Chain A
Amino acid sequence: MNARSPFPRRWLPGARRAGITVLVCAALATTRAERRIDDYLDRLEDLLTISAHEGRARAHLSGTLELEGYRTQLPAPGVFETRDGSLLETRLTVFLDSQLGPHAYLFAQARADHGFDPGERGAELRLDEVALRLAPGPRREFNLQVGRFATVVGNWATRHLSWGNPFITAPVPYELLTGMWDTEAVRSSNMLLQWAHLRPGQSAQTTAIEKSLRLPIVWGPSYADGVMISDAFGRFRYAVEAKLGSLSSRPEAWRHSREQRHHPTFSARLLWRPDTAWQFGVSGSRGVYLREFAQDTLAAGTGRGDYRQEVVAADASYAWRHWQVWAEVFGARFTIPRVGNAETLAWYSELRYRFTPQWSGALRWNQQVYANILHRGVPTPWGQEVWRIDVAPALRLTPHTQLKFQYSLQRGDSAPRDTTRTLATQLTLRF
């Protein structure tokens, strides 16, 4: 390792390739041409809004074009996949927001990229969100929503899109993969400890594809199909949703939600806003984490409904002038018949400060710990404690372009090393 650099020399070619690409685009974004483009983008925004019936029905198309570069030590942490530790990702996201009179709101999100999470896969086009929200009655605070949409649990979903997110990657509870799988039921404590890399015996073939097997507590914004009701009473708001997919379900499962038609996941959130600056929430969720094709691996005499993911969460946020703070804590339990309950606790806190109209910086502390399971009569943690610190400076180049950097240092769950370092950069063009 280079004594002066926090990264090995062999990192540089890949990091340079990804970094230079993003920086060249960023430099282009600061030219006079871009400032003219900015004006055109404002005009485009007006053009992409259409209305009918004297403005009572309106629709607006908007979107983001993202270019991301990653460089990480292997095995790559979180949910993104790379063979050599470097990755260049492009993503086009198009949003539709439509107001149909005062009582109906329709929204959708389509993406073209290489998978929901960054990875070395083929290009694909997906409809990640599409939902109709109805606000019947004159008060309009009681809402009914049907479709595919982000979970109501927690406060991260409200800022998970690249433009509003101070970071490039998700917090640990939303992306750190545990030893739990959704494709096969755990049949022994030894099996679970192997999947969690705490016991030898997992084949190299399995290790190579395990990101398509393991589950986090919450998979990103959890865009599963479902129905939600919500309302507000004074300073309190609540939302209850029934979805065809547990919080931990992976993006592929969201598109096959009929598998869970007999095992809906119920989640709820209660929010208290004592004033504009503060917000406190508690959430809970209960659903089945195994997918349909795990049926043949269930313990004798059990059904998929016995393999539940139960989550309780609390969150808080504060904002004042140029400060923003968020914090969340999640307790999750995966029930495993004949083996016991696998429990984990994860939390994080984020801080963002805007130094100037263009420069801001963000800092995040993440941690996840695991409870014990009984392994051959001995209480044994079913996962390795993980902590991670993320630092993310960001530069708003124009009202429509933003450049972010992120450095992450993670300890735990990174065998054979103690720590994993990741560099990421993201250029976003908003239209």
Chain B
Amino acid sequence: MIFSPPLRGRVASALPPLLAALAVAGALASSPASAATVEGRVSLPATRSTPVVNQRYEIVTKSGVLSTNPPVAVVYLEGQFPAPATPPVASMRQKDLTFLPSLLPIQAGTRVEFPNLDDTYHNIFSFSPAKRFDLGRYRAEDRPIPSQVFDTPGLVTLRCDIHEHMRALILVLATPHFVVTDADGRFRLTGLPAGRYTLKAWIDSKTTRTQAVELPATDVPVRADFP
């Protein structure tokens, strides 16, 4: 033994709790079933009409057909969660004169890249209090891809200074636990810590629904609907 006798006693007394902690950590790591899951459905508003591209002063236009973005909601778990150790990276693309996705939830501290996948300029900007920026005009081949870090929770409305019909939202959240519903409003939020929390469904800038949930340390899904 390399330790001297007094230190050897201290190590011996510290071993049992250390081993216990390691056992718990190992159990948690090897058993994802202990992370809670919540699932349910959010009632979504009616589908919005697809925008119309302004082509009045283009001498040649081949666009005009935009993909439809059905309304979706963001479901997230509100609570005190640590900030990410390394800033996550997300992407808000511009493709066929449309933002993809049209609604992007992120955790505060996330860097969002704005790749231009069209063969024309885009000029993304935001005047929202949560993040004010203007990327200027940039092309598909420009590197590095323009990006911004979103530090402040809140709603950020993105627009393009060139294509007036383009609009998208970034919902900056103080939680790492969020999910976007499908077009029918269904969601499944996994990997949640056990405990009592508030579950929120963000539907639009004026509508956020709330309900309390108690998440067990089992893999049995908890049902939470937002009618």
Contact = CB atoms under 8 A, between A and B. Distances in A.
A356 B159 CA distance: 15
A50 B47 CA distance: 11
Interface string B173-215: 0000000000000000000000000000000011000000000
Interface in B145-179: 157, 159, 164-165, 167
A60 B127 contact: no
Contact of B121 (A271, A276, A396): A276
- Chain B interface residue bracket vs A: 35 or more
A interface bracket (residues with beta carbon within 8 Å of B) = 35 or more
Contacts, number: 117
A89 interface: no
B91 interface: no
B64 interface: yes
A58 interface: yes
Nearest to B132: A357
B56 A129 contact: yes
Nearest to A50: B49
Contacts of B43: none
Interface string B102-127: 00000000000000000111000111
A49 to B, nearest CB: 4
Contacts of A158: 57-58
Nearest to B135: A321
Interface string B31-65: 00000000000000000111111111111111011
A256 interface: no
Interface stretch (B3-11, B14-22, B75-83, B136-144): B136-144
A217 interface: no
A398 B127 contact: yes
Given A321-B136, A357-B125, A98 B52 contact: yes
A237 B51 contact: no
A83 interface: no
B49 A49 contact: yes
A55 B68 contact: yes
A121 to B, nearest CB: 26
Given A49-B48, A99-B65, A357-B125, A150 B57 contact: yes
Contacts of A152: 59
A228 B59 CA distance: 9
B60 A60 contact: no
Contacts of B120: 276
A10 interface: no
A319 interface: yes
B61 A271 contact: no
Interface stretch (A134-142, A298-306, A378-386): A134-142
A104 to B, nearest CB: 9
A46 B164 CA distance: 13
Nearest to B159: A399
A141 B165 CA distance: 21
Contacts of B64: 99, 102, 105, 135
B56 A39 contact: no
B115 to A, nearest CB: 14
B56 A232 contact: no
Contacts of A107: 54-56
Majority DSSP secondary structure for residues of B touching A: loop
B53 A99 contact: yes
Contacts of A135: 61-62, 64
Contacts of B139: 275-277
A36 to B, nearest CB: 10
B176 to A, nearest CB: 28
Contacts of B68: 55
Contact of A133 (B48, B55, B119, B132): B55
Nearest to B59: A239
A60 B157 contact: no
A230 interface: yes
A233 B167 CA distance: 31
A178 to B, nearest CB: 26
A186 B28 CA distance: 95
A58 B157 CA distance: 24
Contacts of B57: 150, 157-158
Nearest to B68: A55
A322 interface: yes
B60 A141 contact: yes
Contacts of B53: 97, 99
Given A55-B50, A140-B62, A232-B60, A357 B134 contact: yes
Interface of B: 48-62, 64-65, 68, 119-121, 125-127, 132-139, 157, 159, 164-165, 167, 205-206
8 smallest A-B Cβ distances: which pairs?
A: A321-B136, A357-B134, A60-B52, A51-B49, A239-B59, A49-B49, A322-B136, A158-B57
Interface of A: 39, 42, 46, 49-51, 55, 58-60, 62, 95, 97-99, 102, 105, 107, 109, 129, 133, 135, 139-141, 143, 149-150, 152, 157-158, 228, 230-232, 237-239, 269, 271, 275-277, 319-324, 354, 356-358, 396, 398-399
30 contacts: A39-B206, A51-B50, A55-B49, A55-B68, A58-B52, A60-B51, A62-B54, A97-B52, A99-B53, A105-B61, A105-B64, A109-B56, A133-B61, A135-B61, A140-B62, A141-B62, A143-B59, A152-B59, A157-B57, A228-B59, A231-B60, A232-B60, A238-B59, A269-B59, A275-B139, A276-B120, A277-B139, A321-B135, A357-B127, A398-B127
